[in-house]
Chains A and B, each alone.
Chain A
Amino acid sequence: MLVNALDPDLCSLATDAAVELDLLLNGEPTDLAGVRRLGERLSQALDQPEPGQPTRRLQVDTETETVLGQAFTRAGVANAATILGELSQRTEQIAEQLSSTGPDTEATVVQKQRDFCLALSQSAAVYRQLIFDVRPPHPYRR
C-alpha cells in the first residue's frame, strides 16, 4: 500500500517507529519491526528509477506530499521554503535509513530518524484533523 496522509496507519506506524527508535537510543530491547514497516511503506511511495533517472520520484498525492514536507521541517532537517524541491531525495534517504537501522547505527543518526518519525506522526495527525474534523458543531453540545 502506498503512503497516504489520510491513512490512519501512517500515524500509528510513525508513532510505533518513534517509540522503537527511542528504545534503541536508550539501550532498551526492541525488535524495530515498526521502523522496518515504515521504511518499507515510504520506499513504496517512490517509483522504480528508469535507466538514466538519477533519483527515485515520489508518487504521492498533493496532501501526502505536504504532510511529508511538514514532517521534515518539523523534525528540523529541512527548510519550508525549499523542502518541496528536495522531497523525493529526502524521502528516499529516510526510507533507506529506516530499513537498515540497527544497534550499530550511530546514535545521532538514530536520533534524527526518531525525530522524523515523531514529526511524521504529528503532521499526519494535524492533516487528518483538517480533513475529518468535519462534523458541524451541535448548537447545544460542547
Chain B
Amino acid sequence: MTYIGYAKQRYDAAIREIERLKQSEFPYAHIRDALLQLEQVFRQQRASLDKLSAKVSPPVAKNACSQSLAFLFNYTPYLGFVLRATNVRNAFETYAPILRLARRLLRPNMKLLLSSEWEYSPFVYLPTVELPDFVLIGVPAYESANPLLVSLAGHELGHNVWTQQSLGQKLDTALRDEVLKALTTKFWGDYQQIYPKTAQSDLLTNMFVKETWLPGHVFAKLQLEEIFCDVMGLRLFSEAYLHAFAYLLSPCVPGERSPRYPTIRTRVMYLLDAANKFGVAVPAHYADLFDSQMDPVSPVVKLLAGIADAGISAIVPQVIQEAAAYADARGVPRRSDSNVAAIRNDFNRVIPAFGGSTLTDIVNAGWACFHDGDLWNHLTQIRSEDRGRVLYDLVLKSFEVAEYTERINTP
C-alpha cells in the first residue's frame, strides 16, 4: 500500500470511531454539536485526500499526507475530550454559570464543553477554524467536581479573549521592540558569546540573524498571554482566583522553568500588581507560598528566556489595563464584599446562597469558608472530615439556585 492509501485508511478508522462516539449519551447539546462539527471536518480532510491522484508529484502528495497526519495528531485529543465531557465525574452544576460567563465575555452564540481530564493542569482548546464557536475547558479529573476551582475558568477564558481580540498581533510591534531593546542592551554580551559575528544592524533585516532571537519574541508573546489570562482570572474572580492559583501551583513545578511561562514568582508579582490596581485584597504572605525556579540549563534557552522576561516587563501594565477594560466593557460583575459576607452567612447556616448571587461572590464566599478553621464547629452533625464535601455541595447548589433564578427572571 502507498502512503496515500495509508493516509486514507487512517481517516476511515477515525471516522468509524466518530460514528461510534455519536451513539454516546450527551448530558448537554454542545457536546454532540462539537462532535458533529468534528465529524464534518474529518470527512472534509478525508475527501481532500481523494484529490491525490497517481499523477500528483511525490513531494506534493507526501506533504499533503504529512499535513493530514498532523491533523490527526492535533484533533484526536478533541475526540477524547468530547468523550470525557460526557463523564458523570464532571460537576454539571458548574456548566451553566461558566457558559453564561463565556457568552458574556466572548460572543452570545459561544458553546461550551467542560471535561474531566487526566492531566494535572487545567487547559483550554482555543477556537479554531474547525470549531470557531466552541470553548473547551479541561479540568484535572480529581478536581472536576471542586467548585472552588471554577475561578480557573477565568484564566482559560482569557486565552479565548486573547485570541478573539488578536491581542498578540496588536501588541506585536511594541513587544518586539522591547525584546530587541533587552537583547541589544542587557543581554548583548551573552548573545555575542553565542553568535560572535552578528551585528546589531542585521537583527531585523537578515533572516538568518532574525531566527536567532525570534524564539525569544515568541516566548515573550506566550508569557504575555499567560499574564493577560491570570489578570483576567483575577478581574473575574478576585481573591478566589488567587486561592485557586495557589491551590493548583504552589510552591512551583520542580525543575527548570519553562521559557513559555514567566517564572511562578514573576507571575505572582504581576498578579499582585494587578490586585493592587483592582483593589483586590491579597491573602497575607501570599507570595511566600511560591518558590523560585531554576534557569534553563541550555545557554541559548536561558538567553531567550531572559530577553522574553525583560521584554514583557514594559508591556505588562498595558496588558493589565486591557484585561480590566475588556471585562468592564462587557459588564462582568466584580466581587461585592457585602454579598460575599451575606453568602458566607448562608453557608455558615448550611444553606445555599440567595438566588441573585453572582458566580464570583459565591466562589469567594466558598473560599472564605474553606479557610475558616472554625467552620461548623458548633454543628455536631457535620463531622470535621465531611466539611469539605458539604461545602462543595453548598457551593454547587448555590450555582444551581443562581442559574434557576437567572432563568426565571430573564424575559
* 16 A/B residue pairs, CB under 8 Å, sorted by A: A2-B169, A15-B63, A19-B51, A19-B56, A23-B55, A26-B57, A28-B53, A62-B172, A62-B214, A63-B214, A80-B207, A84-B204, A118-B60, A122-B63, A125-B66, A125-B67
> Once the chains bind, are A84 and B207 in contact (CB under 8 Å)?
yes
Minimum Cβ distance to chain B for residue A122 (Å): 7
**Which of the residues A11, A27, A131, A136 comes within 8 Å of B222, measured between beta carbons?**
A131
A7: chain B residues at CB < 8 Å are 129
Bound form: Cα–Cα A28–B56 in Å: 9
Q: Are B214 and A4 in contact (CB under 8 A)?
A: no
B56-71: which have CB < 8 Å to A? 56-57, 59-61, 63-64, 66-67, 70-71
What is the distance, in angstroms, from A15's C-beta to the closest C-beta of chain B?
5
Would you call B260 and A19 a contact (CB within 8 A)?
no
Q: Are A66 and B63 in contact (CB-based, < 8 A)? A: no
A141 to B293, CA, bound (A): 24
In the complex, B318 has a CB within 8 A of chain A = no
Hey, which chain A residues are within 8 Å of B222, CB to CB? 131
Within the assembled complex, what's the spacing in Å between the Cα atoms of A128 and B55?
Answer: 30
Q: Which 9 A-B pairs have the closest CB atoms?
A: A61-B172, A22-B60, A80-B207, A26-B55, A9-B129, A15-B67, A61-B169, A69-B207, A62-B176
B155 at the interface (CB under 8 A from A): no
Main secondary structure of the interface of B (DSSP, over half): helix
Rounded to whole angstroms, the CA-CA distance of A8 and B217 in the bound complex is 20
Chain A residues, CB < 8 A from B214: 62-63, 66
Interfacial residues, chain A to chain B (CB-CB below 8 A): 2, 4, 7-9, 11-12, 15-16, 18-20, 22-23, 25-28, 30, 61-63, 66, 69-70, 73, 80-81, 83-85, 114, 118, 121-122, 125, 130-131, 134, 136
Complex partner residue of B70 from A70, A85, A125, CB under 8 angstroms = A125
Judge whether B129 and A18 touch: CB under 8 Å. Answer: no
Query: Which residues of chain B come closer than 8 Å to A62, judged between CB atoms?
Result: 172-173, 176, 214, 217
In angstroms, how far is the closest chain A Cβ from the Cβ of B348?
42
| Closest beta carbon of chain A to B257's beta carbon, Å | 11
Residues of B within 8 A of A19 (CB): 48, 51-52, 56, 60-61, 64
Bin the interface of chain B by size.
35 or more
Contacting pair A121 B207 (CB below 8 A): no
* CA distance in complex: A40, B130 (Å): 19
Shortest Cβ gap from B92 to chain A (Å): 28
Q: How far is the CA of A25 from the CA of B207 in the complex (A)?
A: 31
Q: Roughly how many angstroms separate A61 CA and B173 CA in the complex, as a whole number?
A: 7
**Cβ-closest chain B residue relative to A10:** B129
- Would A23 and B207 be within 8 Å (CB), given that A61-B169, A63-B218, A131-B218 are in contact? no
Are B210 and A81 closer than 8 Å at their CB atoms? Answer: no
A61 with B168: in contact, given A80-B206, A80-B207, A131-B218 (CB under 8 Å)? yes
**Which residues of A sit under 8 angstroms from B56, Cβ to Cβ?**
19, 22-23, 26, 28
Say which residue of A16, A80, A131 sits within 8 Å of B208 (CB atoms): A80
Note all chain B residues with C-beta closer than 8 A to A66: 207, 210-211, 214
Partner of B74 from the list A8, A84, A136 (CB cut-off 8 Å) is A8
Q: Are A70 and B207 in contact (CB under 8 A)?
A: yes
Distance in angstroms from B240 CB to nearest chain A CB is 27
User: How far is A131 from B220 in the complex, measured between Cα atoms in Å?
Assistant: 12
- Complex partner residue of A114 from B52, B53, B60, CB under 8 angstroms: B60
Contacts of B81-96 to chain A: CB distance below 8 A: none
Contact partners of A22 in chain B: CB under 8 A: 56-57, 60
The complex places the Cα of A140 from the Cα of B53 at a distance, in Å, of 42
B74 neighbours in A (Cβ, 8 Å): 8
B251 proximal to A (CB < 8 A): no
The answer to whether A15 touches B217, judged by C-beta atoms less than 8 angstroms apart, is no
Residue from the list B63, B168, B258 in contact with A18, Cβ < 8 A: B63
Quick one: closest B residue to A16, CB to CB?
B48
**B210 touching A84, Cβ below 8 Å:** yes
* Chain A, Cβ-Cβ closest to B222: A131
B381 CB contacts on chain A under 8 angstroms? none
Given contacts A12-B67, A23-B53, A23-B55, contact A18 B218 (CB under 8 A): no
Q: How far is the CA of A11 from the CA of B172 in the complex (A)?
A: 21
Q: Determine the distance from Cα of A69 to Cα of B169 in the docked complex, in whole angstroms.
A: 18
Q: Is B215 an interface residue (CB 8 A)?
A: yes
The answer to whether B218 touches A121 (Cβ under 8 A) is: no
Contacts of B70 in A (CB 8 A): 11, 125
**A134 contacts which of B61, B128, B205, B260 (Cβ < 8 Å)?**
B260
Q: How far is the CB of B4 from chain A (nearest CB, A)?
A: 11
Cβ contact within 8 Å between B59 and A118:
yes
Complex CA gap A80/B202 in Å reads 12
Closest chain-A Cβ to B93's Cβ sits at a distance in Å of 30
